[in-house]
């Protein structure tokens, strides 16, 4: 069954939890600018990455996100790493496929090719001009296509402009596309734009789900309600919150503010078809989600 067909079934789908912060918890260097891409640079860390994917599969995740958040040319620069974008993207996708092969299941699991903003995902002021966005995102999307992902997950996006360009490029591939924004406390996209505007521009382009991620978990209910009103109650939404906060030097600080039970208590009210965990969440959060999300 394809991802799009599965999405049309009545049950909810569980997305995996955080990879970057989980790598950090398990002793992998996730220093900026490479962040989670550091784990693809040597065999020891790549094995830890695979174990994380396996733990999320054991916890019940239906969708596993590739560790490709920062495997693009700009994040890998300067050379020679900048020329390794395809090689590292392929390694990340192969590691997810290996994890899925190792943890058998009678249900279908999907590989979500993750791409985010070209620059810092929390800095809408840094979004590059359109021509740079087109050229660089086109390369990333084609790398994911070539490596054989099941869907494109455009995540932690902070402006409508970058989201629209990514979506236009992704739909050319005919792969299912999911778009997720990062919002402020008021439920606006970090650029100050509204999710209602985002939905009105993105839905006609053919996305199969839209939503919010990487905001503090208690803050997600408000933007999800806005999206539900904008998209209609049957349009699939995606939601995955964070626990902790971003830090310029270390990337992420885990606070464990919401334990798995507290996280899932909040998540159980989200009107979302796809629910998972963002930075700071763990396989325990996903295992708990599996118990409460139907």
Footprint of Zn ion (CB under 5 A): 214, 242, 278-279
Measured distance CA(153)–CA(178) in Å, rounded: 5
Measured distance CA(179)–CA(225) in Å, rounded: 16
| CA 31 from centroid of its chain's CA atoms | 19
Quick one: 60 or 244, whose CB is closer to Zn ion? 244
Smallest distance from the beta carbon of 289 to Zn ion, in angstroms? 16
Quick one: 128 or 216, whose CB is closer to Zn ion? 216
Quick one: 86 or 289, whose CB is closer to Zn ion? 289
Measured distance CA(211)–CA(201) in Å, rounded: 14
Quick one: 114 or 242, whose CB is closer to Zn ion? 242
Smallest distance from the beta carbon of 10 to Zn ion, in angstroms? 28
Quick one: 86 or 237, whose CB is closer to Zn ion? 237
State the burial class of residue 275 (Cβ atoms within 10 Å of its Cβ: 0-12, 13-18, 19+).
buried
* Coil/strand/helix, residue 65: strand
Would you put residue 177 in left (φ > 0), alpha (ψ -120 to 50) or beta?
Answer: beta
Peptide bond into 80 cis (omega under 30): yes
User: What's the CA dihedral at 3, 214, 225, 57 to 10 degrees?
Assistant: 40
Smallest distance from the beta carbon of 156 to Zn ion, in angstroms? 6
Smallest distance from the beta carbon of 18 to Zn ion, in angstroms? 6
Smallest distance from the beta carbon of 2 to Zn ion, in angstroms? 27
């Amino acid at each position: 069954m394809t991802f799009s067909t599965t999405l049309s079934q009545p049950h909810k789908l569980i997305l995996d939890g955080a990879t970057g912060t989980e790598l950090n918890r398990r002793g992998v260097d996730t220093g900026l600018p490479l962040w989670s891409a550091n784990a693809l640079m040597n065999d020891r860390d790549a094995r830890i990455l695979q174990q994380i994917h396996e733990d999320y599969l054991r916890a019940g995740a239906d969708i596993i996100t590739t560790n490709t958040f920062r495997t693009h040319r700009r994040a890998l620069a300067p050379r020679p790493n900048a020329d390794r974008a395809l090689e590292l993207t392929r390694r990340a996708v192969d590691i997810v496929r290996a994890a899925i092969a190792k943890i058998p299941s009678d249900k279908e699991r999907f590989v979500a090719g993750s791409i985010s903003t070209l620059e810092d995902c929390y800095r809408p002021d840094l979004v590059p001009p359109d021509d740079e966005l087109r050229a660089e995102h086109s390369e990333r999307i084609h790398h994911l296509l070539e490596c054989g992902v099941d869907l494109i997950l455009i995540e932690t996006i902070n402006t409508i402009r970058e989201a629209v360009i990514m979506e236009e490029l992704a739909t050319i591939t005919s792969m299912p596309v999911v778009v997720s924004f990062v919002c402020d406390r008021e439920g606006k996209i970090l650029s100050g734009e509204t999710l209602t505007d985002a939905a009105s521009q993105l839905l006609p382009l053919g996305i199969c789900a839209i939503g919010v991620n990487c905001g503090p978990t208690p803050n997600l209910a408000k933007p999800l309600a806005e999206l539900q009103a904008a998209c209609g109650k049957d349009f699939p939404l995606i939601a995955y919150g964070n626990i902790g906060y971003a830090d310029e030097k270390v990337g992420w600080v885990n606070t464990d503010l919401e334990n798995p039970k507290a996280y899932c208590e909040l998540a159980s009210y989200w009107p979302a078809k796809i629910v998972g965990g963002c930075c700071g969440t763990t396989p325990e959060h996903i295992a708990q989600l599996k118990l409460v999300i139907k």
